[in-house]
Amino acid sequence: MSEAVSKQMKRMRRASTKPELLIRRELHRRGLRFRINHPELPGRPDIAFTKVRLAVFVDGCFWHQCPKHGVMPKNNREWWQAKLHRNVERDREKDAELTALGWQVRHFWEHEDPAAVAEELEQTWRHLGTPAPASRSRRGL
């Protein structure tokens, strides 16, 4: 990797990217509260709804190989293929770890509409936060 590419990569944000901020702003507007980059959870989810155990990741199209927008660089192709493939593998590993801890995991692409993402998350949050109906005993029938 060239020195120029290395410097450019170091300047890229790892957290609080524009797509994340837009989604967080919309969720907050809807009255939903959450933690960001929860340090105690595998993969440090971008958004974590701790009460309902819902972890959310906003994936960059390049870094996580979006089938719609992900492109493979032409220079140093083999290195990039290995790097990006490992990113996708790591995503699956952290998802499995979170699931084993009882968390629901949702991934969204950076190009998705923030309002639509917030709507889906709000519906999921409401569904997960709804207590299961109490089973009726035989005496109550």
Asked if residue 101 belongs to a domain, the reply is yes
Q: Which helix (H) or strand (E) holds 118?
A: helix 114-129
- Supply the CATH number for residue 40's domain: 3.40.960.10
Query: Per DSSP, what are the bridge partners of residue 48?
Result: 35, 55
Domain count along the chain:
1
Range of the domain at 109: 13-126
Q: What is the mean pLDDT of residues 121-133?
A: 88
User: The whole model's pTM is what?
Assistant: 0.83
Asked if residue 24 belongs to a domain, the reply is yes
Asked if residue 4 belongs to a domain, the reply is no
Query: Which tens digits make up the pLDDT trace of 4-60?
Result: 666 666 566 567 799 999 999 999 999 999 999 999 999 999 999 999 999 999 999
Distance between CA atoms of residues 108 and 112, nearest Å: 7
